[in-house]
Amino acid sequence: MTLGLAGKKASCVAVWLSMALLPRKKKRKDPGLPGASHSRAGDGPLTVAKFSEVGIFLVERKMGSSRRSFLTQLARKKGFRVEERMSESVTHVVSENNSGDEVLELLDKQSGICRAALVDITWFTESMGAGKPLEVENRHRLQEALKILAENAQLCENEGRYLAFTRASSILKSLPYCVTKMDDLQGIPSLGEHCKRVIKDILEGGICREVEELIQNERYQTLKRFTSIFGVGVKTADKWYREGLRTLHELRASKILLTKEQEAGLLYYEDLIVPVTRTEADSITKIVEGAVHRFLPAAVIKLTGGFRRGKEYGHDVDFLITHQEEGKEQGLLYQVINWMAAQGMILYDDITDNKDQKWKNKEPEIFDSFAKCFLIFKLQKDVVNVLRPNTAGDDDSLAANKAKEIGRGGHAETCERATCAAVKVKDWKAVRVDLVVAPFSQYAYALLGWTGSQLFERDLRRYAKHFKHMSLSSHSLFDNEQVGRN
Ligand code: UTP
Ligand code: MN
């Protein structure tokens, strides 16, 4: 080992570290799957890095400065050492959506020699989930490659391929052992030829050419960027791409007519791409509970989605609301939204009534027809969490005005900097929140349906249909044979 770690403290970290930098020789003792050990982001800042032997450098390119800064804070809170610059003490270079060649080229421009392991974001997120640095494995490379291929299939509206790659990635994630050779895949269902080819390439050469090329592909990059805006789906993103748009700056400067949802998505873009932490989700839970209980003191409010599954952070916060006395929940959503709006807590809202006709013709196994509200919540940050307290003089309206300027165009770089400045001085964060209201008799199904993951729900419904001849949705579970339906 070149890192000169003290032999005595050859703890699991040292062992792990040596394995991270050398080809893997043996299985890791603790698989440390995400969520296996919960070290909350809200444990409070640690001044001394718990895992000081591990030095992380996050590559900003493609990750963006807001996300990089979020991930830096998250890692530091969990006791990881994150370096702002590349140096000799960096052991792990973490990048997202960059090819290996690109990272090497970027590092070449930085001072410091790269002896570190080049790892992708899956290693980082899993390590955060486990609360400790994990061994770098092909597993991370494999999952990431399959996820990228799944994402691309989605952007090409190829649902079959999307499902195949998503399933494969999910299967690899759940395997109780590490895949090191093709034989390890024997007997695993749902692994098609294409997936196997990708896995083989990575196991043999560390990379998959198809994925490397995809990452460089202009359409993939552009559609990924546009669909990361709230309110923008694949069809819209593809239309903009075909019209010649490539960047958010070009979109903002264009005369393209945006929906209200997309306008809000673009206006709060910088906040919305930063993951929501569990601490933030807990704060929002308290606020939503307070708001709902004003109108219905006995209402039940349940945090659902990824956070209910134990995820440490997510893209939004999902809630399911009900009341044991069926019917009491009627009209509740409007009261709650109106009250929260009056308190200045809402930046954008879109209420769908359960009587809304647009849901009537939809497939109940895919679209439910509960009263719901997709909103952008204005979460006040704790004063201690404001990044630059010395700029406390800046108020909301300044930040909001800045955000508005950004939303309406201007020069790209200036925007980027202005956005960062606005994010740093403002004392609130825009967070996507979904509120769903279900009548009590359907609550159990709604809870199951809104807990996710999307793939799990999908496969559960497929299993119900094909193996049990039943129809499962967020509203009910029917025995098709008894009801006489197909
Ligand atoms: P999310 O999209 O919020 O996913 O939907 P998530 O699992 O919480 O992960 P994040 O937010 O990206 O971290 C949560 C669940 O709600 C259901 C889906 O089944 C999904 O698994 N859902 C979502 C619906 O039933 N209908 C919808 O319109 C949206
Ligand atoms: Mn969610």
Count of other CB atoms within 10 angstroms of residue 197? 12
Confidence class of residue 369 from pLDDT cuts 50, 70 and 90? very high
Q: Across the chain, what does the average pLDDT equal?
A: 81
Looking at per-residue pLDDT, the higher value among 346 and 40 belongs to: 346
Count of other CB atoms within 10 angstroms of residue 450? 22
Domain annotation covers residue 481: no
- Same structural domain, 129 and 144: no
Domain annotation covers residue 455: no
Count of other CB atoms within 10 angstroms of residue 364? 15
CATH of the domain at 240: 1.10.150.20
**Tokens standing for 328?**
């009491």
Which whole number is the average pLDDT over 11-18?
26
User: Of the residues 93, 114, 136, which one is the last residue of a structural domain?
Assistant: 136
pLDDT value of position 45: 44
Distance 282 CA to ligand 1 centre (A): 18
Q: Which residues pair with 51 in a beta bridge?
A: 80
Which whole number is the average pLDDT over 354-382?
83
pLDDT value of position 470: 96
pLDDT value of position 416: 43
CA dihedral 458, 459, 465, 469 (to 10 degrees): -140
pTM: 0.75
Could you list which residues have their CB under 5 Å from ion ligand 2? 305-306, 314, 316, 318
User: Of the residues 165, 199, 215, which one is the last residue of a structural domain?
Assistant: 215
Which residue has the least CA distance to atom 29 on ligand 1?
Answer: 450
Contact (CB, 8 A) for 32 and 132: yes
Burial readout 301-314 (b: 16 or more C-beta within 10 A, e: otherwise)? bbbbbbbbeebbbb
Contacts of 189 (CB under 8 A, 6+ apart): none
Confidence class of residue 27 from pLDDT cuts 50, 70 and 90? very low
Ligand 1: atom nearest CA of 311 is 13
Which whole number is the average pLDDT over 224-231?
96
Ligand 1: atom nearest CA of 317 is 11
- Same structural domain, 368 and 343: yes
Euclidean distance between CA atoms 166 and 459, whole angstroms: 12
Domain annotation covers residue 480: no
Domain annotation covers residue 478: no
- Which of 73, 447, 444, 42 is closest to 280 using CA atoms? 42
Euclidean distance between CA atoms 128 and 92, whole angstroms: 14
Which residue has the least CA distance to atom 21 on ligand 1?
Answer: 452
pLDDT value of position 361: 66
Which DSSP helix (H) or strand (E) runs through 277? strand 276-277
pLDDT value of position 378: 98
Lowest mean pLDDT among 121-130, 149-158, 226-235, 391-400: 391-400
Ligand 1: atom nearest CA of 456 is 21
pLDDT value of position 444: 98
CATH of the domain at 334: 3.30.460.10
CATH of the domain at 193: 1.10.150.110
Q: Report which bound ligand comes closest to the CA of 309.
A: 1
- Same structural domain, 437 and 300: yes
Has residue 28 got a pLDDT over 70? Answer: no
Has residue 195 got a pLDDT over 60? Answer: yes
Domain annotation covers residue 286: yes
Instruction: Give 102-160 pLDDT, tens digit per residue.
Output: 787 777 766 545 567 888 888 998 898 888 998 877 778 888 899 999 999 999 999 99
pLDDT value of position 175: 86
- Same structural domain, 296 and 412: yes
Distance 453 CA to ligand 2 centre (A): 9
pLDDT value of position 48: 65
Which whole number is the average pLDDT over 90-95?
90
Catalytic site positions: 316, 318, 434
Looking at per-residue pLDDT, the higher value among 361 and 286 belongs to: 286
Has residue 414 got a pLDDT over 80? Answer: no
Distance 450 CA to ligand 1 centre (A): 6
Contact (CB, 8 A) for 151 and 143: no
Ligand 1: atom nearest CA of 453 is 21
Q: Report which bound ligand comes closest to the CA of 306.
A: 1
**Tokens standing for 396?**
């909301």
Which residue has the least CA distance to atom 28 on ligand 1?
Answer: 367
pLDDT value of position 138: 76
Has residue 314 got a pLDDT over 60? Answer: yes
**Tokens standing for 375?**
């909103």
Which DSSP helix (H) or strand (E) runs through 168? helix 159-174
Lowest mean pLDDT among 106-120, 156-170, 200-214, 396-410: 396-410
- Same structural domain, 281 and 429: yes
Which residue has the least CA distance to atom 13 on ligand 1?
Answer: 314
Has residue 21 got a pLDDT over 80? Answer: no
Q: Report which bound ligand comes closest to the CA of 284.
A: 2
pLDDT value of position 135: 82
Which whole number is the average pLDDT over 265-271?
96
- Same structural domain, 102 and 45: yes
Most confident of 31-40, 124-133, 404-413: 124-133
Looking at per-residue pLDDT, the higher value among 150 and 418 belongs to: 150
Domain annotation covers residue 110: yes
pLDDT value of position 30: 33
Domain annotation covers residue 97: yes
pLDDT value of position 360: 66
pLDDT value of position 406: 34
**Tokens standing for 479?**
């025995």
Lowest mean pLDDT among 282-291, 315-324, 401-410, 454-463: 401-410
Q: What percent of the chain has pLDDT over 70?
A: 78
Looking at per-residue pLDDT, the higher value among 381 and 377 belongs to: 377
Contacts of 223 (CB under 8 A, 6+ apart): 155, 234, 237, 238, 241
- Same structural domain, 380 and 251: no
Q: Which residues does a 6 A CB cutoff place in the pocket of ligand 1?
A: 305-306, 311, 314-316, 318, 368, 449-450, 452-454, 457, 474
Which residue has the least CA distance to atom 14 on ligand 1?
Answer: 305
User: Of the residues 99, 120, 136, which one is the last residue of a structural domain?
Assistant: 136
For a mutational test of ligand 1's pocket, the pick from 453, 455, 472, i.e. the residue with the most ligand atoms closer than 8 A to its C-beta, is: 453
Contacts of 365 (CB under 8 A, 6+ apart): 461, 465, 471, 472, 473
Query: In what order do the strands lie in the sheet containing 80-83?
Result: 80-83, 51-58, 92-95, 117-120
Which whole number is the average pLDDT over 228-242?
98
Instruction: Give 41-74 pLDDT, tens digit per residue.
Output: 333 444 467 888 899 999 998 888 889 999 999 9
pLDDT value of position 96: 87
- Same structural domain, 240 and 195: no
Distance 309 CA to ligand 1 centre (A): 11
- Same structural domain, 158 and 304: no
- Same structural domain, 303 and 186: no
- Which of 435, 439, 461 is closest to 448 using CA atoms? 461
Residue 152's domain comprises: 140-215
Ligand 1: atom nearest CA of 451 is 15
Has residue 36 got a pLDDT over 70? Answer: no
Distance 453 CA to ligand 1 centre (A): 7
Q: Tokens 């749902």 identify what position?
A: 190
Ligand 1: atom nearest CA of 316 is 11
For a mutational test of ligand 1's pocket, the pick from 166, 304, 448, 454, i.e. the residue with the most ligand atoms closer than 8 A to its C-beta, is: 454
C-alpha of 422 from chain center = 23
- Same structural domain, 282 and 412: yes
Contacts of 239 (CB under 8 A, 6+ apart): none
- Same structural domain, 38 and 78: yes
Which residue has the least CA distance to atom 7 on ligand 1?
Answer: 306
For a mutational test of ligand 1's pocket, the pick from 308, 450, 457, 473, i.e. the residue with the most ligand atoms closer than 8 A to its C-beta, is: 450
Which residue has the least CA distance to atom 3 on ligand 1?
Answer: 305
Provide the number of structural domains found in the chain.
4
Domain annotation covers residue 54: yes
Looking at per-residue pLDDT, the higher value among 337 and 107 belongs to: 337
